[in-house]
Every structure is written in structure tokens, then in C-alpha cells.
Structure 1
Amino acid sequence: MIRNRTFERRETTPAEREARKAFREVIPGKAMTDYAKAQKSFHENRERLKAERLAREAKARARSSSD
């Protein structure tokens, strides 16, 4: 037997509305937190590599000027 399946909207309960509201607020914040962590890590790594490069260049200049 085939039933007529119509999609009816059911009323959400106050608890469901509160849960949706809570999750809607948390999820975008988490994404930004992950983005901020990635950006911080990237900038720290870039600064570390820059310091290493400057140290190598200074060492090379000191070696070439002492020869």
C-alpha cells in the first residue's frame, strides 16, 4: 500500500530552538578559533625562519669580510 507522503513542518519545541541557537553561536566561533590558531602558527614559523636566514646571512658576511 502506497501512502501519500507529504512533508509537513512540525513545530519545534522551545528546547530544540534553544539547542539550535546555542550550536549556531558555537560553530562559527570554533571556525574562527581554528583560523586564528593557523594564522598564529604561520606567523610564528615565518618569524623563526626569518631570524634563521638573517643569522646565516650575518655569519656569511662576517666570514667574507674576515678573509
Structure 2
Amino acid sequence: MMKDPPASRALRDANRAFKPVEIKKEISDYAKTQQSLHENRERLKAERLAREARERTHRE
């Protein structure tokens, strides 16, 4: 079993301590708009389903 020379061990420890940070890609205006539309559509759908469920329970 070979031991790492101190320089290699120190370098390996430094690389572990200072891992590269993932850079998130900025979302384009188009993607932001699409995401907003999707979220709004899902919110409106949930509200509509809740309203329809309330109407069904009131009729019965």
C-alpha cells in the first residue's frame, strides 16, 4: 500500500474542500413567460375544479 506524498494529499483535500459550484443558467424572458403562464393555468384549473366540486355538493 502506497502512501500519498504530502503535496498530493494536500491537493486532494483542497479539491474536496473547494468543489466547483454549479452555475445556474439564467432563464430567458420567453422561458419566464412560459413558466408564468403554466403556473397561472394550473392555479385557474385548481380554482375551477374546487368551484365545480362546491356546486356539486350544494346541489345534492
Q: TM-score range by the shorter chain?
A: 0.5 to 0.7
Q: Which one of 38, 41, 54 corresponds to residue 56 of structure 2? A: 41
Moved over 4 A (4+): none
Q: TM-score, normalised by structure 1?
A: 0.54
Aligned-CA RMSD value: 2.0
Query: Mind listing any 5+ residue stretches in structure 2 that lack a counterpart?
Result: 1-18
After superposition, where does 1:1-67 map in structure 2 within 5 Å? 4=19, 6-45=21-60
Match of 2:12 in 1: none
Q: Which has the higher helix share?
A: 1
Task: Pick which of 35-44 and 11-20 moved more.
Answer: 11-20
**In structure 2, the residue corresponding to 1:11 is in which secondary structure?**
coil
C-alpha deviation, 1:28, in angstroms: 0.9
* Percent identity over paired residues: 12
- For 2:45, the aligned partner's letter is K
